Each structure stands twice: as C-alpha cells, then as structure tokens.
Amino acid sequence: MFGSRWRSVFHKASGSRLRHHRAAGTYVFSDVKAELVKCKWDAIVVGGGHNGLTAAAYLARAGVKVAVLERRSVLGGAAVTEEIFPGFKFSRCSYVQSLLRPTIIRDLQLFKHGLKLLPRVPSSFTPTTDGNSLLLGADMEFNQSQISKFSKHDASAFPGYVEQLERFCAIMDPLLDVAPPEKRVGRSITRGRLWEGLETTKVFAGLLRRFAAAGPADTLAFMELLLAPASKVLDGWFESDILKATLATDAVIGAMVSVKSPGTGYVLLHHVMGETDGARGVWSYVEGGMGGVSKALAGAAVEAGATLVTEVEVEHFKLKAGSENEAVDGVVLADGTEIFADRVLSNATPYVTFLKLLPADVLPQDFLKRIKTIDYKSGTTKINVAVDSLPLFSACKSSKNIPGPEHQGTIHLGADSMQELDEAYKDALNGRPSARPLIELTIPSAVDPTIAPPGKHVINMFVQYTPFHLAEGSWQDQETRAAFAKKCFSIVDEYAPGFSSSIVGYDMLTPPDLERIFGLTGGNIFHGEMGLDALFLLRPIKGWAHYRTPLAGLYLCGAGAHPGGGVMGAPGRNAANVVLQDMGR
C-alpha cells in the first residue's frame, strides 16, 4: 500500500506550478498534494485502469475538471506493460487486443497518441500430441484447407459458422456503446422521464429492427447461442475434435465455467465482437505491450485537461455532511487526506466499490444483498515467461530460432477435445488445479521485437483451471506454486521439446495474486461473471444497470458495469456520457 506517497501526476501545461518532464513527454506537478486538495473537483475517477482513463478523457473533453487516482505506480489497471526481467517487457495481465471500441479509438485519436496495433497472421495455432496441427487466420480458403486435413464436412461448414457469428455481432454491436435503457430510480422531472422514455424506445426499436432483418432462422440460432452450452452449439456445426476444442476456448477463457455450461455460447460471441483496422474478430498485439493502450488513453486524457495521479490509495468515499439524502462529496485517502468532488466514478469492481469503500449502513439493504450475489469465481492463472529461444513445435519440424506462422497468434495447448476441457474444469470444481490445464500461449515478441532482447522472447501463458481456494495446500506456498508452474511448462514440452530448458525466468499470477495486485475480486478478469444473468439490464444487478448507484454522485465505470469485461473501454465511455447527462452538459 502506498499511503501518503505522491508521484507521477500528469496534467496538460497550465502555469508555473508545472515543470516539464521530458522523459515522459508530460507535465509533472511540483507539489502533488497541494494541487489535489486546493479545490473541489467536478469529478474524481477512482482507479486508473483503461476504463477509468477512458471516462476521464471523455469528461475532460467536455470541460469537466477531473482527476484520476491510481493506487499502483503504473497506469492501466490490467492493461499494463511491465519489465519484470531486464529487457523483457510483459503485458502482465491482459495480453491481446480486439475489443477496444472503434468509436473510442476515433474520438480520442489514440493512434495520434502512439497506439499501434499489430495484427496476428495467422491468428491461431493448435498442435496435437500426435504431430498434427491446425492453423487458422483471416484467409477463409487457407482455413478451409487446414480444416480439411481433419474433416471435409467441417471445412465446408466453417464459412457459414463465421458468417453467422458476424451477423450476430452486428445485432449486438450497437448495444455496447449505449447505457442500458433502464428507468432511473427517483426520476421525477417530466422532461427527464420523457427523455429516458425516448432513449429506451430508440434502443429497443433498433434491436427489434436488427432481429427483423436477420429473419426467423437467424433469430432462433441467436437465441440458441445465448442460451445453450458452447459444446452443443459447436457440436451442431462440426465433427472434428481439434476444431471444436480450438473454437471452444473462446467460450471459457477467463471464466470459471465448462464448455458444457449453459450460456457459454454468449462468451464465445463476446470474444469475436471486436475488430482490428475494421476486420471483425481479428485480434492484435499492441506495440510495446498492452500498456500501449493505456498510455494512449492517458495521453488523450492529459491533452483534454485531465489530471492523472499514481501511487495514491483511496481508503473510502467521502459522504456529504448534513445532506438529507446520502451523497458522495469526494474521497478520503489512506493517509487521511480529503479530496472534494461533486461526483466520483469507481473503476473498481462492484464488490470493492460497495462493500469496501463505503460503510455498510449507507446503502439500501436489498441493494447490498444483490451486490453480494455477484459471482467472482475465477479459474485463471497468468504466467509470464522470459525465454532465450522460441519454442520449436514438433508438428512444424523447425529447428531455427526464427518466428514462423505457428508463433504469430494464440497457441492452444493441453486439450485436444471439448471433453478434455470439461475434465479440466471438473478438477477445479473439487478445489484442485486441473490435472491437465488448458493453456493459451502467445509470443508477442514474435511480432513485436521491441519487447525482448534480440533473439529472446516473452511468452504469455493464460492457464485454466486454477481455483482461488485450494482443497489442499495454498497458493501462498512456494512449493505449491512451483509445482503448478512446472506442470504447465511440462505440457508445453510435450508439443515443443526443450521449452523448459529455455526459460530465463517467470512471473506467476494466481487468482489471489490477480486480486491483490490488480484489484480483481476473486481473480475474475471480467469484474464478475459474464453469464446471461449478469449482462445488459442485469449488470451489475437488476435495477442498476445505468452506471448510477443508490448514492447520489457515485457511478460505476469499470467492467462490472455494462457491457462487461475485456479491454473494451465501453463502460468508461458510457459512464462518462451518463455523468455528462446528469450534469446537464
């Protein structure tokens, strides 16, 4: 915890109190504490993750005097680049990009602020233990030739599957950029009620039009995708285990669910909603690591006039004294310093926002009861690995330390069938790490040479399933941690012999580590499950999907709000728009 340490305050140049920090290309306050407490802010954003930075940028563009307060020494939340070992720069938590909303990229001119996306071609590589492999990318003819090695039927069906998902994305896409059309609690002004009614009509009318255009067959298929297990959806399309297992990982990655769990079809759709340079479903690396997204957002926010502060821990929200109804009046820091603000936007999880940063007696009990039902279970462990050479996969029969097509995209290891994915999940249900974990392995340095020393590489391993609480042992025990890491490395060795011997060092983040370091309650990367009972009008809970909260002046702007997790920025942008509405701007 950082207490009263005050550093890294970034602000657009505005007077003699600022000195230029040439290395950072920003401006740094000479007296941070004095600057924060000298006035009452229009808005304070608690948490400098990508959604908090997005919200701050939009608010500042509208003339709002806004400050972002971040507990860690680096901005970005889970979208950060950190040099864990000398010369090796890791996307320490999130690791690939596709979901960042095009509207945000355009509005905030993120490319001007240094964002550079590096498409992955091909995007997916799945080797098998018997020496076969499946490569998939953006070229449909190439994909069909790869799939036909396993099934002619699946090669023929694959274009229809992709086209249908793209049509479903077109139905859902407009919903991501708007606040859920929910009646505002306590709204009494006729003009306000009329405006909300028009907004509700507009959103739902647009959704109905898109469903009508899709036709009855697509509508039924869409409902099946939302409600059915991903395994049932994929079994209806394909017959080859390797293709189904490859596609099924998108339905469970980051979630404590099985491919046989109802509703996992939506998570599959969620992961193909994004785009890179206008190409739907194409994931990219960010040059310099995922911190490049946050750096560009921070640059846009600073240019608009926002103040960004790191190493400042918010202890709790400050309540307005003497008000008839409970309302926020700013925040109180860990060292007792009070910072006044008319509005506070929380980029923390709903659990932290309502159960840690507020006393229990200021919120309605029925609201708190529902907040406590949010599911934060996580089965995810992130292992960041520095290696002195590329993994050489047996299926590719290469002996050179030169990136090939198999190194460009996501490499799927550990499960050659959906049944194996389900068995890995069942282990975690019993409090055990999966006997044979699912591993999504990426090598961004194969595409971006700026993040590793010459000839060496950084590797991201996104591993499932690892329960937060172990039935035997603890994640705090070094032997337990080392044993699990060794198990994961040995699985990579099965496909790429010699991988373990290439490791220079590694950094392992289990669910408790993700909670402790990044504030992800339960280690859940989405700020709460993404099931159908926790989306749109039900996110974070029924009746409170419009980013507002029962406490006047307090808003949610993180992934716990609509439309959910991923490096998307939509919750931050939508929340900022709601705040601006409430300010009458």
Collapsing DSSP to helix, strand or coil, 523 comes out as helix
Residue 569 makes CB contacts below 8 A (sequence gap 6+) with 50, 51, 54, 100, 101, 104, 297
> Within 10 A of 279 (CB to CB), how many other CB atoms are there?
13
Whole-number percent of the chain with pLDDT over 90: 74
In a domain, 452, yes or no: yes
Residues 342 and 370 in one domain: yes
Residues 386 and 512 in one domain: yes
Residues 387 and 508 in one domain: yes
Higher pLDDT, 4 or 342: 342
In a domain, 362, yes or no: yes
- For 427, the domain range is 82-97+376-518
Mean pLDDT of 131-142: 94
Q: Tell me the CATH number at 63.
A: 3.50.50.60
Residues 170 and 215 in one domain: yes
| Burial tier of 280 (Cβ tally within 10 Å: 0-12, 13-18, 19+) | middle
> Within 10 A of 482 (CB to CB), how many other CB atoms are there?
11
Residues 458 and 486 in one domain: yes
Residues 312 and 353 in one domain: yes
Q: Measured between alpha carbons, how far is 160 from 143 in angstroms, rounded to an integer?
A: 13
Query: Which ranges of 112-229 does DSSP label H, i.e. alpha helix?
Result: 140-147, 152-172, 190-227
Residues 381 and 498 in one domain: yes
In a domain, 454, yes or no: yes
Query: Which ranges of 372-526 does DSSP label H, i.e. alpha helix?
Result: 418-429, 478-495, 511-518
- Structure-token pair, residue 323: 């008000």
> What are the pLDDT digits (tens) for 378-420?
999 999 999 999 999 999 988 788 999 999 999 999 999 999 9
In a domain, 106, yes or no: no
| Burial tier of 195 (Cβ tally within 10 Å: 0-12, 13-18, 19+) | middle
Q: Measured between alpha carbons, how far is 406 from 398 in angstroms, rounded to an integer?
A: 10
Give the pairing of strands 124-127 and 410-413. Answer: parallel
Find the distance separating the first CA and the last CA of the chain, reported in whole Å.
37
Whether the CB-CB separation of 96 and 538 falls below 8 Å is answered with no
- The pLDDT of residue 379: 93
- The pLDDT of residue 210: 82
Collapsing DSSP to helix, strand or coil, 361 comes out as coil
Residue 540, preceding peptide bond in cis (omega within 30° of 0): yes
Whether the CB-CB separation of 445 and 457 falls below 8 Å is answered with yes
Query: Which ranges of 229-274 does DSSP label H, i.e. alpha helix?
Result: 230-237, 241-252, 264-270
Return the half-sphere exposure (C-beta side, CA atoms, 13 A cut-off) of residue 291.
14
In 287-390, which ranges are E strands? Answer: 307-310, 314-319, 328-333, 338-346, 380-387
- C-alpha distances out from residue 158 to 161, 234, 248, 280, 545, Å: 5, 11, 14, 16, 36
Residues 274 and 352 in one domain: no
Residue 508 makes CB contacts below 8 A (sequence gap 6+) with 381, 382, 383, 384, 481, 484, 485
- The pLDDT of residue 1: 31
Give the 3-state secondary structure percentages of the chain, helix then strand then coil, rounded to 5: 40, 20, 40
Q: Is the pLDDT of residue 335 over 70?
A: yes
Residues 170 and 198 in one domain: yes
Collapsing DSSP to helix, strand or coil, 117 comes out as strand
Q: How confident is the model at residue 39 (pLDDT cuts 50, 70, 90)?
A: confident
Residue finishing a domain among 499, 518, 537: 518
Residue 334 makes CB contacts below 8 A (sequence gap 6+) with 1, 2, 3, 4, 313, 314, 315
In terms of phi and psi (left: phi > 0; alpha: psi -120 to 50; beta: otherwise), the region of 381 is beta
Q: Measured between alpha carbons, how far is 270 from 167 in angstroms, rounded to an integer?
A: 13
Q: Is the pLDDT of residue 323 over 70?
A: no
- The pLDDT of residue 185: 53
In a domain, 139, yes or no: no
Give strand pairing partners of 438: 464
Q: Is the pLDDT of residue 119 over 60?
A: yes
Whether the CB-CB separation of 46 and 328 falls below 8 Å is answered with no
Q: Measured between alpha carbons, how far is 545 from 563 in angstroms, rounded to an integer?
A: 10
Rg (CA), the chain: 24
Q: How confident is the model at residue 566 (pLDDT cuts 50, 70, 90)?
A: very high
Q: Measured between alpha carbons, how far is 279 from 44 in angstroms, rounded to an integer?
A: 36
| Burial tier of 566 (Cβ tally within 10 Å: 0-12, 13-18, 19+) | buried
Give the pairing of strands 41-46 and 338-346. Answer: parallel
Q: Measured between alpha carbons, how far is 184 from 196 in angstroms, rounded to an integer?
A: 8
Residues 389 and 371 in one domain: no
- C-alpha distances out from residue 281 to 55, 232, 271, 286, Å: 25, 22, 8, 16
Higher pLDDT, 156 or 4: 156
Residue 486 makes CB contacts below 8 A (sequence gap 6+) with 500
Mean pLDDT of 327-356: 96
Total count of domains within the chain: 3
Residues 481 and 571 in one domain: no
In a domain, 132, yes or no: no
DSSP summary character for residue 184:
P
Average pLDDT of the residues of the chain: 89
In a domain, 113, yes or no: no
Q: Is the pLDDT of residue 529 over 90?
A: yes
In a domain, 118, yes or no: no
Stated length of the chain:
585
Give strand pairing partners of 346: 46, 556
Instruction: Find the helix or strand (DSSP H, E) in which 566 lies.
Output: none
Residues 343 and 260 in one domain: no
Residue finishing a domain among 518, 539, 568: 518
Residue finishing a domain among 467, 498, 518: 518
Whether the CB-CB separation of 285 and 444 falls below 8 Å is answered with yes
> What are the pLDDT digits (tens) for 478-515?
999 999 999 999 999 999 999 999 999 999 999 999 99
Of the candidates 402, 484, 490, the residue with the CA atom closest to the CA atom of residue 443: 402
